[in-house]
Each structure stands twice: as C-alpha cells, then as structure tokens.
Amino acid sequence: MLSSKAKYGLKAMVYLARHEGLGPVLIADIATSERIPKKFLDAILLEMKNQGLLSSKKGKGGGYILARPAARIMVGDVVRVLDGPLAPVPCVSRTAYRRCEDCADEAACAIRAVMQDVRDAIAAILDNTTLADMTNRRGKPESVLMYDI
C-alpha cells in the first residue's frame, strides 16, 4: 500500500510539474494547495532533494523546482525514494532482495511466484508513467444520468 508519505510526495511533485517553467514554488503554497501538513512536506521535499529529484533556491524568490523535466521523472522513482522497494515481499525485490526466513524452497514457492507478478505489474505502470503523464490525467468523472419524463 502507498504510504501517506509517498502519496503526499507524489501530490507535491505533480504540483511542481504543473508549475514547471514558472520558477521556484514555496513549500507553503504546495502545502496549502494540496492539503499537506507543512512540517511533513518539509521532510518529504528535503528527502527528494537529497535523492536528486528536486532542486531548491533559498531567499527571496526561492522555493522548490523539479531537478529535471517532468517528462523525465518516473513515478516509480518517487515512490522508491519515499517508500522503498515496490515488492510486496522481500524475496521478489530487485533492489532489496532478501530471502524469506520461513521459505524452504524459493523456486517452488507459489506465494513468491504470485508476488513476483504483483511486483512486475506495479513496476510496469510506475516505471512507465512520468510526472508529465500524471499532470495530464484526471480521475474519470462520474457519469450523470439524464431522464426525460
């Protein structure tokens, strides 16, 4: 499950992607617009800056900007920075593999086989979706039924 930290981080990154090319954005503006606790957002943005996803400018006219174009930042990169590996169990992780202690035969483990499919499906979407893609997506509006009597 996506943590609040990753969800807020993605919301902030999409906000910054929507403001791409307009200069640095204040944390307070992101926090207010996206309804994210400012103190929590401070820590999230600093972590993403330290991992090279964001740049910042101090002083007047300062704030955060994307470190590279939104079309070159994958959603999977943001999620991994904030939540760690995508794998639901450690034995299928590509970046943090760890054998399960209770597994007698990893090659014959049905749980591992299904969780590998889950990890691959998640990675296929997140690693092929950019922040630019997210800025162009909206939730599907509910259909409204009209009846004439």
- The better pLDDT of the pair 59, 25 is held by 25
Helices (H) and strands (E) in the chain, counts: 6, 2
Mean pLDDT lowest for which of 46-60, 69-83, 95-109, 134-148? 134-148
Give the mean pLDDT of the chain. 89
Question: What integer pLDDT is reported at residue 70 of this predicted model?
Answer: 96
- Predicted model pTM: 0.83
- The share of the chain scoring above pLDDT 90, in percent, equals 63
Domains within the chain, CATH numbers bracketed = 4-66 (1.10.10.10), 84-130 (no CATH)
pLDDT band at 148 (very low <50, low <70, confident <90, very high): low
Rounded Cα distance between 101 and 27, Å, is 43
